[in-house]
Amino acid sequence: MNLATSVTARDLQHGYGEGFARTPVLHGLSLDFRAGELSLMMGASGSGKSTLLAILGGLLRPQSGTVELLGTAIWQLSARDLERFRFHNCGYIFQGFNLFPALSAVEQVALPLLFGGERESQSLKRARESLDEVGLTARMTLRPAQLSGGEKQRVAIARALAGSPKLLFADEPTSALDSSNGEIVIALLQKIAREHGATVITVTHDPHLGKHAERIIHLQDGRIADDALPVRASRAAALISLPLTPPEPLS
């Protein structure tokens, strides 16, 4: 593993069901992810995106293959150590926001920190900083029913961000949002990758979001159909097409 590689998955195989009823879903995938990058995973419904994301995020144990997160072979940890590892290093964001109806935005974000043993004043301070970062300074005291879908998802991002995760996993974080809020959320995830050096892996259906990502992985029937670096590729293309300095005219 080189220094910047933060996620290493090898020969992942997974299926659901037993015997004749078994449906294979992932067919021996190997992937690496790097710190500071937002990667998007796309593919048709049923192609295995959520299964792969759950395996990469240490939420689902693959039937075979290995996952190393930040140099730790996570499935060799005890259940308790894995839970601790996830708590300290991983953040998760889901389509449905998963907010508590009775809590204000700042309380939603502070709660996991309190559970983690942080003092109340420190938890609230960190929660406010996190909400500031996602542009919700003016919405901190509102409950989910008083927030728009895009704002709710930004609260969920602030909650994940408050724990300073090195690895952030998001499954369809924009699918309940209109396209402009979807772009805001993806741009925010990219900013988190760049400014915090986090590894951000996001499943999405929306091809328009590709311009915000460092990398797009296409899954097809549990295999990698394509793995591209759109931003760098377009930067390289831009460099190649730069006009050359015209030669000095001969005198």
Ligand X SMILES: Nc1ncnc2c1ncn2[C@@H]1O[C@H](COP(=O)(O)OP(=O)(O)OP(=O)(O)O)[C@@H](O)[C@H]1O
Please tell me whether residue 173 binds ligand X under the rule CB under 6 A.
no
User: Of the candidates 31, 33, 39, 43, which one interacts with ligand X according to CB under 6 A?
Assistant: 43
- Alpha-carbon distance values, 194 to 88, 110, 162, 190, 212 (Å): 20, 24, 16, 6, 11
User: Of the candidates 47, 89, 104, 202, which one interacts with ligand X according to CB under 6 A?
Assistant: 47
Ranges within 32-51 binding Mg ion (CB under 5 A): 50
Please tell me whether residue 51 binds ligand X under the rule CB under 6 A.
yes
User: Of the two residues 24 and 135, which places its CB atom closer to Mg ion in the complex?
Assistant: 24
Please tell me whether residue 25 binds ligand X under the rule CB under 6 A.
yes
User: Of the candidates 4, 16, 96, 235, which one interacts with ligand X according to CB under 6 A?
Assistant: 16
Separation between Cα atoms, residue 151 and residue 149, nearest integer Å:
5
Please tell me whether residue 174 binds Mg ion under the rule CB under 5 A.
no
Which among ligand X, Mg ion, none contacts residue 174 (Cβ within 5 to 8 A by kind)?
none
Q: How far is the CB of 75 from ligand X (least distance, A)?
A: 18
| 3-class DSSP assignment, residue 18 | coil
Q: How far is the CB of 24 from ligand X (least distance, A)?
A: 9
To which residue do tokens 């996620």 refer?
Answer: 7
Q: How far is the CB of 60 from ligand X (least distance, A)?
A: 9
Q: How far is the CB of 172 from Mg ion (least distance, A)?
A: 6
Please tell me whether residue 40 binds ligand X under the rule CB under 6 A.
no
Separation between Cα atoms, residue 100 and residue 134, nearest integer Å:
19
Which among ligand X, Mg ion, none contacts residue 45 (Cβ within 5 to 8 A by kind)?
ligand X
* Beta carbons of 156 and 131 less than 8 angstroms apart: no
Q: What residues are paired with 202 via a beta bridge?
A: 40, 170
Which among ligand X, Mg ion, none contacts residue 46 (Cβ within 5 to 8 A by kind)?
ligand X
Separation between Cα atoms, residue 43 and residue 227, nearest integer Å:
12
**CB contact burial 166-192 (16+ within 10 A = b; e otherwise):** bbbbbbbbbebbeeebbbbbbebbbeb
Radius of gyration in angstroms for the set of CA atoms belonging to the chain, rounded to a whole number? 20
Interaction site with ligand X (CB under 6 A): 16, 23, 25, 43, 45-51
Interaction site with Mg ion (CB under 5 A): 50
